[in-house]
């Protein structure tokens, strides 16, 4: 795909957006991917996707999961780190760190197409880096600190990735052998590439010396620029591997450092015990013999010899990053996914249930919620308080009281008062010479008491307003004169005029 081609619709797999292919193999396909995180965080990754036909095979599935489990235990700059595993909709995805670079096999081919050899110091830097990564795998331990005894079993130029940062990294532990591995090799079944197998591996015996032998083949081919064991068919390749004859690199390429043949041939010794004890020992011997180039030199060489492929890949990544930023996002507050680039789906449409369920395990802490998201709650609370004060003011005006008096006045006789203010007994004495009558019904008394105005008096220069007590169902109504039913008259405008003798 050219960099100018439009970005294909995004498929969301868990927390990742899946894009086009980087490379394809017999067991899986590697894709560009983007980690879609909260608050705009994103990251470009490489996603290895097991072919659907293999996802139904328990042996292949266990092999794929073993790769992730084992690779996660290897922590070294010269090993491509495994970030995550996603199992969804009957498919398996292995998420790895994306490295901008090229495989050593393509770099050897590019140099051969130019009729060039890779500079020896660059070869020393690349292969020694891969050997240090292998040593880290061989020394990896489980959670209890027990050795895993990992053997890669598939070291080849295809599985050595050289980045533009000048660092060589080992990848693809899909056929690795380790203690406690779920997947086991069936009888008579070989794992790995025949042209890079040690003689004992063909017989079913593997150890870390098996990877050292394969590493020596990689070193030979990087120096010479061609395959060590090749043939028209697997039978011819097998015969050459078992034959044991290896031409020294100096017989193929002139001007190699003295002693380099010895370093290479020791790694290719037919008997495992005659090889280097560890991959690190092999790396140190190579570095002492040819020296190593700096990471800057290696990175510049990779960019120069694989310039076209790297530029197209960088343009593709830039387009993916731009597209994922503007068209794809994860709303972690709603645990949903929206992809405007999907055909027929509007940008604000609700995501499919499967996408939302894949994100159901993602949570955001309350402390991470910005203040502006809590502003509506604060405004609503302020409106509620203002409404309550308005109701209090309305009731106070309706009864002829000030808001302070309405709040401070007790709701019933005997209610608690401010101890600093002495209680004032209500004035229930009837007017002088007013005839006494029987008490009216309780309902009438309640109505009249509610309509009765407050009685002002003067005490030591202060105005004290007496409010009639609230009636209760059992309280006896105060007596009224005969002419106090009703205790008011109406003027021409319909206003109440209270009778003096009824106040």
- Residues near 28 by Cβ (< 8 Å), separated by ≥ 6? 48, 49, 50, 51, 54, 64, 94, 174
Phi and psi at residue 38, to the nearest 5°:
-75, 165
484, 499 contact by CB (below 8 A): yes
Alpha-carbon 412 to chain mean position: 62
Indicate the angle between helix axes 208-224 and 104-113, nearest 10 degrees: 20
**Is 154 known to be catalytic?**
yes
Q: To the nearest 10°, report the CA torsion of 171, 176, 180, 184.
A: 140
CA atoms within 13 A on the CB side of 299: 10
Catalytic option among 154, 172, 211, 261: 154
- Number of Cβ within a 10 Å radius of residue 471: 19
Tokens representing 44?
A: 């470009």
What's the farthest any 2 CA atoms get from each other in the chain? 144
The structure tokens listed for 188 are 């008579």
Overall size of the chain counted in residues: 503
With CA atoms as reference, report the closest residue to 291 among 434, 123, 149, 433: 123
The catalytic residues are 154
């Amino acid at each position: 795909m050219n960099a100018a081609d439009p970005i294909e619709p995004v498929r969301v797999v868990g927390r990742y957006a899946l894009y086009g292919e980087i490379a394809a193999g017999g067991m899986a396909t590697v894709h560009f991917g983007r980690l879609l995180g909260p608050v705009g965080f994103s990251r470009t990754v490489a996603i290895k996707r097991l072919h659907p036909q293999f996802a139904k095979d328990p042996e292949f599935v266990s092999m794929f999961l073993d790769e992730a489990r084992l690779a996660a235990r290897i922590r070294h700059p010269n090993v491509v780190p495994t970030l995550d595993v996603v199992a969804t909709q009957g498919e398996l995805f292995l998420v790895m760190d994306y490295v901008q670079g090229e495989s050593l096999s393509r770099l050897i081919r590019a140099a051969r197409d130019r009729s060039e050899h890779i500079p020896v110091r660059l070869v020393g830097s690349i292969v020694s880096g891969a050997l240090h990564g292998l040593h880290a795998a061989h020394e990896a331990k489980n959670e209890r600190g027990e050795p895993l005894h990992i053997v890669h079993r598939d070291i080849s130029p295809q599985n050595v990735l050289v980045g533009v940062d000048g660092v060589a990294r080992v990848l693809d532990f899909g056929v690795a052998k380790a203690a406690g591995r779920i997947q086991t090799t069936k009888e008579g079944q070989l794992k790995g590439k025949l042209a890079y197998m040690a003689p004992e591996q063909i017989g079913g015996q593997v150890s870390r010396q098996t990877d050292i032998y394969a590493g020596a083949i990689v070193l030979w081919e990087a120096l010479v620029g061609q395959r060590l064991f090749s043939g028209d068919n697997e039978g011819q390749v097998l015969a050459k591997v078992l034959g044991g004859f290896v031409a020294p690199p100096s017989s193929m390429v002139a001007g190699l450092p003295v002693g380099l043949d010895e370093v290479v041939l020791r790694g290719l010794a037919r008997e495992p015990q005659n090889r280097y004890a560890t991959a690190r020992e092999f790396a140190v011997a190579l570095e002492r013999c040819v020296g190593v180039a700096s990471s800057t030199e290696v990175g510049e060489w990779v960019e120069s010899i694989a310039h076209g492929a790297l530029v197209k890949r960088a343009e593709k990544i830039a387009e993916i990053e731009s597209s994922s930023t503007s068209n794809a996002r994860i709303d972690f507050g709603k645990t949903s996914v929206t992809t405007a680039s999907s055909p027929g789906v509007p940008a604000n449409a609700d995501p499919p249930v499967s996408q939302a369920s894949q994100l159901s395990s993602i949570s955001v802490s309350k402390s991470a919620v910005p203040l502006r998201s809590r502003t509506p709650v604060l405004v609503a609370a302020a409106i509620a308080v203002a409404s309550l004060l308005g109701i209090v003011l309305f009731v106070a005006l309706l009864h002829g009281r000030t808001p302070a008096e309405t709040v401070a006045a007790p709701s019933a006789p005997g209610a608690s008062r401010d101890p600093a203010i002495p209680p004032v007994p209500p004035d229930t004495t009837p007017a002088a010479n007013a005839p006494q009558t029987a008490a009216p019904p309780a309902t009438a008394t309640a109505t009249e008491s509610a309509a009765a105005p407050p009685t002002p008096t003067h005490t030591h220069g202060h105005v004290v307003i007496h409010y009639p007590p609230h009636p209760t169902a059992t309280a006896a109504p105060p007596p009224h004169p005969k002419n106090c039913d009703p205790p008011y008259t109406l003027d021409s405008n319909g206003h109440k005029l209270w009778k003096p003798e009824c106040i």
